[in-house]
Structure 1
Amino acid sequence: MTDEPDLDYVTAFWTRLGLPGIIDVHTHFMPEQVLRKVWGYFDAAGPLIGHREWPITYRDEEQVRLKTLRGFGVRAFTSMVYPHKPDMAAWLNQWSADFAARTPDCLHTSTFYPEPGAAEYVRAAIEGGTRIFKLHIQVGHYHPADPLLDEVWSMIQDAAIPVVMHCGSGPAPGEFTGPGPMSQLLHRFPRLRPIIAHMGAPEYSEFLDLAESYDGVLLDTTMNFTDFFDAAEFPVTELPRLQALGDRILFGSDFPNIPYPYGHALQALERLSLGEDWLRRVCHDNAAHLFAID
């Protein structure tokens, strides 16, 4: 549930910047049974989250969570779903398509996994109007350039659909996380539009290098600069690069799976002191342009 001081801060934040609200490219809405398992993993402080305590601030039923986001003035958001094994993605895509159909302010989100048949259901998702894809390399435990995905990446590249990718090695490294596998993928598909989740934490500098090398690479701010995310602290020396890439950075929150109030993510960006124009682009304008939101 939303507390009044947090609501007041968030509303004052985007009002002060002269924005019509916020666009959040990294929020999780999933089938109820899947979300409950995700929350259970956080409650157990499992190895993929670094064995640290991670309380869920917005542990509410779906309609309450939607009301909370809208109350904050979030104009558009995503339903980040991702499979951790074969034979999940097509089912998740059907759920997310239904969710988007009944939730007009949700950007229709889809996913995929390296498996036979991936090209078929990804093609169906594209033809069905998906706006964004989501991948979690750490959880899925696969190389993003797996040959089983060649046709998938070709279609997504041609369709110019962004893909949010948790590919950095935080909060715990995996066999295929880090900038190396992503560099291999982009070498083969240079026109892709990946959105590097969590700004690639903790390999910030290397993912900034990729953004400077490939025009389509974007980064989302999810959980970065917050008091909770101190295990992968962003290098102060890289702030000028972050400012220079202000048209390639998108706001993400990880709502509802965050261990602090929603407004703290915006406060964390504000205290970087990169300027109001940077904040306007990051928290609204970049995503509005990317997804053609009036």
Structure 2
Amino acid sequence: MTSLPVTDTDYLPEFRARLGLSGLIDVHTHFMPEPVLRKVWGYFDTAGPLLGHREWPITYRDEEQVRLKTLRGFGVHAFTSMVYPHKPGMAAWLNDWSADFARRTPDCLHTSTFYPEPGALDYVRTALDAGTRIFKLHIQVGDYDPNDPLLTEVWGLVQDAGVPIVMHCGSGPAAGRFTGPGPMAALLQRFPRLRPIIAHMGAPEYTEFLDLAAAHDSVLLDTTMNFTDFFEAADPFPPADRPRLADLGDRILFGSDFPNIPYSYAHALYALERLELGDDWLRGVCHDNAARVFGLG
């Protein structure tokens, strides 16, 4: 892959104009309570085991309003506030924060989360009643089996509601006890109408998660960090699977992991463009597919 220097200021407006896009939709951005985000950034600074001990500098380490201005300046007109608990007792108050954030940030898709714990059904029902548009789960960080019996009724409720769930369930950047395609395949056997969005396209188990998407029409994938120089250096996408990206093009959604990325936002989009899958594919991934999933203009 050839890497060219691309800057947010020069590349992003030209990219949107060339594709005829008034804006981008980013389904994987992180806005959290400031104390939580500072702890997340602190962990990134340690290059800890959950990161595979990789150096991971944060490119957009700014306060909340600056980050919002930056994202909107990139031409992103809809995004998320991905929150996730790493222990019991966190999810309900994270959901309260996210609900308030969505109220004061109309271009943010109201995001919620859950964790296998008593009371999860109640706060998930509360989140759905409040109009949540998307859930976020991080199997690696949370260190839990998505098939935990404490989540059985929750999955049934979310399935019936038809709300998508961004799930970090692949084994990158470091494997967890419950990461990989196996637990997700088991979950979809039990709840075949769930609408998971497989974060990072399931890296590094790309082939297996593409198989899962091929077997289940409800499964979506996001491109978060995929195909960038940073990801390709550690977990390269298998060349043999490149044609499948076109085959599943209407179920792939753009995600960035903003602000927690060690490169420019423009590079995330350039990494998709250099796949050379065509303008229609790029328009779908960067806007149209998510617009359809979330009923956006």
Range of TM-score over shorter length: over 0.9
Please say if residues 170 and 202 of structure 1, whose CA atoms lie closer than 8 Å, have aligned partners that are also in contact.
yes
Among 110, 120, 123, the alignment partner of 2:122 is 120
- What is aligned with 2:28? 26
- What is aligned with 1:292? 295
Separation (CA, whole Å) in 2 of partners of 1:250 and 1:234: 17
* Residues 97-153 of structure 1: per-residue CA shift (max 9 Å, x gap): 000000000000000000000000000000000000000000000001111001110
The residue matched to 1:228 in structure 2 has which SS? helix
Separation (CA, whole Å) in 1 of partners of 2:111 and 2:7: 31
Separation (CA, whole Å) in 1 of partners of 2:183 and 2:128: 25
Among 271, 278, 281, the alignment partner of 1:278 is 281
Separation (CA, whole Å) in 2 of partners of 1:20 and 1:161: 26
- What is aligned with 1:84? 86
Please say if residues 194 and 218 of structure 2, whose CA atoms lie closer than 8 Å, have aligned partners that are also in contact.
yes
- What is aligned with 1:144? 146
Instruction: State the AA in 2 paired with 1:245.
Output: L
Give the RMSD, CA atoms, in angstroms. 0.8
- What is aligned with 1:236? 239
- What is aligned with 1:16? 18
Structure 1: segments with no counterpart, 5+ residues: none
Instruction: State the AA in 1 paired with 2:185.
Output: S
* CA positional deviation for 1:20: 1.2
Separation (CA, whole Å) in 2 of partners of 1:208 and 1:226: 19
Please say if residues 7 and 71 of structure 1, whose CA atoms lie closer than 8 Å, have aligned partners that are also in contact.
no
Please say if residues 7 and 266 of structure 2, whose CA atoms lie closer than 8 Å, have aligned partners that are also in contact.
no
Among 252, 256, 270, the alignment partner of 1:253 is 256
- What is aligned with 2:38? 36
* CA positional deviation for 1:14: 1.3
Structure 2: segments with no counterpart, 5+ residues: 1-5
Instruction: State the AA in 2 paired with 1:241.
Output: R
* CA positional deviation for 1:5: 3.6
Report whether the alignment pairs 1:75 with 2:62.
no
Query: Any residues of structure 2 matched to 1:33-72 within 5 Å, and which?
Result: 33-72=35-74
- What is aligned with 1:196? 198
Separation (CA, whole Å) in 1 of partners of 2:165 and 2:76: 20
* CA positional deviation for 1:259: 0.3
- What is aligned with 2:3? none
Instruction: State the AA in 2 paired with 1:267.
Output: Y
- What is aligned with 2:265? 262
* CA positional deviation for 1:267: 0.2
Separation (CA, whole Å) in 2 of partners of 1:245 and 1:195: 13
* CA positional deviation for 1:247: 0.2
Aligned length: 291
Instruction: State the AA in 2 paired with 1:270.
Output: E
Instruction: State the AA in 2 paired with 1:66.
Output: L
The residue matched to 2:262 in structure 1 has which SS? coil
Taking structure 1 as the reference length, the TM-score comes to 0.98
* CA positional deviation for 1:8: 2.2
Query: Any residues of structure 2 matched to 1:142-221 within 5 Å, and which?
Result: 142-221=144-223
